[in-house]
Amino acid sequence: MFIKGLPVGQLGTNCFIAAADDSLDCIIIDPGDEPEMILDIVRSNNFKIIKIICTHTHFDHIGALSEIKEFSNAKIAFHKDELPIFEAAKDMAAFWGFEVGDIPQPDEFITEGNIIKVGNLSFTVMHTPGHSPGGICLYGHDVLFSGDTLFADSVGRTDLPGGDHYKLKNSFNRLMKLPDNTQVLPGHGSETTIIRERQYNFFGKM
């Protein structure tokens, strides 16, 4: 399995490119900014982007959607509960002093239990609200793409529109039931593992 993480933009959002060993197909997860850096990896590996997944739609996770979509014509997918956040993304960016260009509309919605296939890889969609209403994680092959639901030693904030501390707590507890050796690839910061977060993440002790 090929996984490449790229911190993009001023907020250091982790964009991930994931591909199987048996195929040149790949998915892009959270293309938040710097589309040329993302596409350089795609081109250098002769990958074909088959889907663009947004773990949620805060502006720092969707800022490069237009360019990636234009390059690949791949379908953009996120959870339907993210629509209010998606529609407010440009205004939210402006509030924080950032500028986001035109953002293409989603092609499809994904929800709990859907399977994202890439070659011989399969990732299961987990709806994990709390940081945002339609936040999702992708889990498969001992890897969790956790978006802003779970970070190393932390979790996503809940004081933004659509955030919910109680829902995030439920989502966190659900993720802590995954196997110990699950590699966690978060939306910001360094990677971690479920066993480490179960032991050390402050949120589990609140």
Residue by residue, DSSP assigns 148-194 as TTEETTEE--S-STT--HHHHHHHHHHHTTS-TTPEEEESBS--EEH
Please determine, for residue 205, whether its predicted confidence score (pLDDT) is greater than 80. Answer: no
* Cα separation, 191 vs 54, whole angstroms: 18
Q: How many domains does the chain have?
A: 1
Quote the domain boundaries for residue 186: 2-205
The domain that holds 180 is classified in CATH as 3.60.15.10
Look up residue 182 and give its two tokens: 């699950």
Confidence of residue 99 (pLDDT cuts 50, 70, 90): confident
pLDDT band at 95 (very low <50, low <70, confident <90, very high): confident
Write the pLDDT tens digit of every residue in 128-150: 999 999 999 999 999 999 999 99
pLDDT band for position 41 (cuts 50, 70, 90) = very high
Question: Which parts of 48-160 are beta strand (E)?
Answer: 48-53, 75-78, 108-109, 115-118, 121-127, 136-140, 143-147, 150-151, 154-155
Given a contact cutoff of 8 angstroms between Cβ atoms, the answer to whether 103 and 119 are in contact is no
Q: Report d(CA 75, CA 184) in Å as an integer.
A: 25
pLDDT at residue 44, as a whole number: 97
Mean pLDDT computed over 160-183: 97
